[in-house]
Amino acid sequence: MKIGSGHTLILNGVSKSYSDGDKQVEVLRDLSISIDAGQSIAVTGPSGSGKSTILNLLAGLLTPDAGSIQLSIGQRTINLDSATERERTAVRRQHIGYVYQFFNLVPTLTVFENVCLPARLNKRRELDDHAAALLKRFGLESRFHTYPGVLSGGEQQRIAVARALVMSPPLLLADEPTGNLDAANTEQVTDLLFETARELGVTLVIATHNIEVAARADLQLKLGATD
Amino acid sequence: MIALALGRFLARTPWSSAMALFGVTLGVISIVSVHLISASISQRLDGLVPVQLAGFSHFLHRSDIASSHYFELRRAWRKGQLEGVTAIAPLIDETTDIEGSAVRVIGVDLFNPALVPEASSKSNSAFDWLGVWVDESLIDKLDLPVNGILDAPPGTLITDIGPAQEILGWPPSRLSFLGVQINDTFQQTIDLLENVMPGFGSGFPSRTPAVALPDGWRLTTIAEQHPARAFGKSVLFNISALGLLALLVAWLLIYQVAVSWLRRLWPVFERLHVLGADWAMLRHYFLVGMIILATVSSVVGIGLGLLLAQWLLKAAMPLENIKLQLDAWVVIKALGSSLSVCILGGLFAFHRAAQKPSSSLPALITLCLLLIAAGYCLLEPATGLAGGFFSIAVLSLASGFTVIPLLRSLRRVSSWIKGPYLARLSLRESIWYPQEVGAALSGLILAVATAIGVGLMVESFRADFAAMLERRLDYDMVAEGDHAALAALEQKIASNSSVNRYQVYRDTEIRIRGLPVSLRVARVDDQEARRYGEFDALTATEVLLSEQAARMLDLDVGSTIKADDSLMSVAGIFSGFGDVQPRVVLDQGNTLAGAASKIESIGVKTSDPQALLSRVRVDFPGLELRLQTEIRRAAMDTFDQTFAITTVLIAIALLVATLSIYIAVTSMRLNRRTGSRLLLTLGVNRVESIGMDFALGIGIGLVALTLAVPLGLLFGWILCNIINPRAFGWTIELQLMGSALLQPVLMGLAAAVFAGLLRGGRAEEGYANVRR
């Protein structure tokens, strides 16, 4: 399902802080952005500036202290800031793909099973063929029944991207997806992310330190260091 | 600074640190409670044999023993002809009837100060060489000067040799046997180890040292001389062996704590190492932490173990007022166990975490040698109870050794596991981390296998025991009590038309080849013989032997037996479950029947047992009357009470194993913390997450059962066919009952599932997360 036309992902006056002992550390203050369907946006900034926090807020893993986050899917608009834990979990499951810096593949599932996992969680067994096609496209057809532990970092990240895309989610979040890869793999994974997202009409939010990766996005959000 | 870093780390993971503390404490509790219970029972059993007899290591018998035989032997000893013998003394130990009560008369040489009884405070202080020491039940029954009151079983009397002969109506030259003390280093070592593990000594077969005795003498051990005490000690050994199981599982738990704790600390250690702290120093800090953990746990565990032991004994014996006290041995055992396992387990865990290569070949060779030794112990009865339990211990070790290779093999074929993805994932996870769960899994396997083995043995025993009761309880009513009243009752029922059949039993104790044997005389016609098995009526020269008697006297069906100059043949061997003493049954026409002159009990068959019982109760108020149904119920209740402590010990072992699995699962969750975050991101909800924990528990439980079930069956076979015959002299037919098998299997699965589902400390999982 694609995000509908117009402003589809809207953050309005979002603030978020964490407590560190007795101290409150403010990571985001009054952040407002809006992203159109199918657009890509790179979130850049120094460590601790709140890049991962934005992604976790968009995924519904965190809720903002203030402000609102609206996600429009088709005719439906979901307020992630006020949704219950259960609703946010359901949104994440059905509509959001996530790629981590450290791949986070499940060690006890084979490559194919890892990619199929989101589809199976949504009881969409018919997407197995799509999973196989993605793996073939990503050059991993010989690795279907291998466990991830024996694969290289580049291969693991390609599997992670395939897994994030198997449901063709309207929103794809990538947290430093190339942060743990060499130059050749960085390029390959970046190509796969942007090209596939564009083809599928997926909105991509990518947090990165890499200027070249950020340059490929339609929009850039630069965050400053917090106190 | 390093200590501060570690201290803060542990303080920030309070649940896991508390679990480690609780785990070791539970281990110490099981060690202390089992030791205290065993020591208490052992002390009570020792009380069955008066100190005057317990001081001798062996006894010397011969037919028609007289004081001249004693002096003759004494001369030989003084000349140095009895090598190894350090003391020798004449003894009398007989049971006689005094004013209608059975009294055990013990005669000792009071010139030996060590043999003068130590009477309780209530005793009379005046000393009379012709006086006696008696237990409280005999104070007013004897017309003899009482020197003191003994803390002994009812009906015990101790006096000098002369007065004892007089009480028994014996000539001054007659003796029962001689007591000797023989120097035996092996036995002294066993006696010392008895302090560490009460009941340990009875696990070893009685040793008869090679002493060059003149013709006609036969040497018996203290166990043969006092079968009731030996019987009790064998029960105790069985309990202690189960206590050892709790100890082993506790050790595995403590090791699991070390592994899990280290697992959590490892990322901190790695960072400290990068900063320049060398591994030896980090290991030192880790061990200090383990020692603190062991010490705190031991102190708490010793206190709680004492309370648990008191509670268990109160529950098992509600009428007894037993006060338990901590002695140095139990403190040493508890502290030693927790400290040594914490230190050695910590070192081993550190060694493995540092991934220093080590060869498993020496361990494999040792295990093979142990398995050969275990096989020998199973085949060779001379290795005694200890041999039987040694083989069980080796099999347990072998199963523990198999756990990690089994998990690795299962991992290789894990792609065969199909089904829903989350269940598939969790089931595979249960076999994915052999190092993390290996020790805990071994503990669970051991606990479940023991539960299966003991369960099968108890249920098989129960079935055999019930079958024996069914046969033996042929009479509707049994009367016991005063001999004269029983004789009068016999007269009365002989002419009672409602009585279909009755049987008069006369019992006494005789010695065959110097060994005490219970003799039962009755009218052994076809019907009476069938109470003991598929036997025919006994002739005047035939006897039936209990399995215990046959084993002790080394006799079989058809063998001949000589007692009091009568030669008899063994017509059959019967099961005597519950008999503490070997038993011989013979017909009243036998020449030996005269040895038992007084009626001990009468069995009656009648069409209306209740009516007969009411009538006899009115006519003979002093007699103890019991209906068949009551006897059966009481016997089965006693049977169940006997195994109550066994059940509790297994429950403790299972509880400790469950905790161990929980600690292992927590450690494993540290491995899958990134996976957990991923699943959360993918939208796995709470119900699915609980389902995954359930599947993980099922997976661990199934792996444990893969080894525990065959091991348990093997344990059951050893307990029925090796341990029981060696401990009590009876054989139990192993019956594979579904209920005995199913209950431990379900308990094992439940333990694993419970450990998997325990949610506490989940919030801490992310704390040690060092990667995004």
Asked if residues B153 and B166 have their Cβ atoms less than 8 Å apart, the reply is: no
Chain A contact for B483 (CB, 8 A cutoff) = no
CA angle A156/A157/A159 to nearest 5° reads 65
In this complex, do A104 and B415 lie within 8 Å of one another by their Cβ atoms?
no
pLDDT digits (tens, 9 = 90+) for B426-463: 888 888 888 778 888 888 898 888 888 888 888 888 88
pLDDT digits (tens, 9 = 90+) for B27-84: 788 788 878 887 887 777 776 667 777 778 888 888 788 889 999 989 988 888 888 8
Query: B418 CB near a chain A CB, below 8 Å?
Result: no
Interface check A156 vs B, CB under 8 A: no
For residue A208, how many other CB atoms are within 10 A of its CB? 25
Nearest Cβ partner for A89 among B428, B674, B685: B685
Question: How many residues can be counted in chain B?
Answer: 772
pLDDT one-digit tens code per residue, B8-34: 666 766 766 777 788 778 778 878 887
CA distance B749 to chain A (A): 22
Minimum distance, in Å, between the CA of residue B428 and any CA atom of chain A: 6
How many residues are there in chain A?
227
B682 and A117 within 8 Å at the Cβ level: the answer is: yes
Facing A109 at nearest CB: one of B425, B674, B684? B425
Q: Which residue has the tokens 């010392």?
A: B192
Looking at chain B, which residue has its C-alpha nearest residue A116?
B421
- Closest to B446 measured CA to CA, from B203, B650, B645, B736: B650
Structure token pair of residue B554: 């080394």
- Residue B545 — pLDDT band, cuts 50, 70, 90? very high
User: With an 8 Å Cβ cutoff, are A121 and B684 in contact?
Assistant: yes
- pLDDT at residue B516 is higher than 90: no
Q: Is A116 within 8 Å of chain B by CB?
A: yes
Q: Read off the pLDDT of each residue in A116-140 and give the average, rounded to a whole number.
A: 90
Q: Which residue of B has its CA nearest to A58?
A: B681
Q: Look at residues B219, B220, B210, B176 and name the one whose alpha carbon lies nearest to residue B63.
A: B176
Among chain A residues, the shortest Cα distance to B411 is held by: A108
ipTM: 0.74
Cα separation, B60 vs B219, whole angstroms: 5
- Segments in B594-643 forming alpha helices (H): 609-619, 628-642
Write down the pLDDT at residue B5: 65
pLDDT tens, position by position, B216-270: 888 887 777 776 666 667 777 777 777 676 667 777 777 777 777 787 778 778 7
Kindly give the interhelix angle for B384-412 and B686-718, rounded to the nearest 10 degrees.
140
Cα atoms in the Cβ-side hemisphere of radius 13 Å centred on A119: 20
Give the highest mean pLDDT range of A103-107, B126-130, B245-249, B638-642: A103-107
B673 at A interface, C-beta within 8 A = no
Determine the CATH number of domain A7-222: 3.40.50.300
Indicate the SS3 state at residue A41.
strand
Average pLDDT, chain A: 87
Give me the residue spans of the domains in chain A: 7-222
Tens of pLDDT, residue by residue over B260-296, are: 778 777 877 877 777 777 788 888 888 888 888 889 8
pLDDT of residue B769: 38
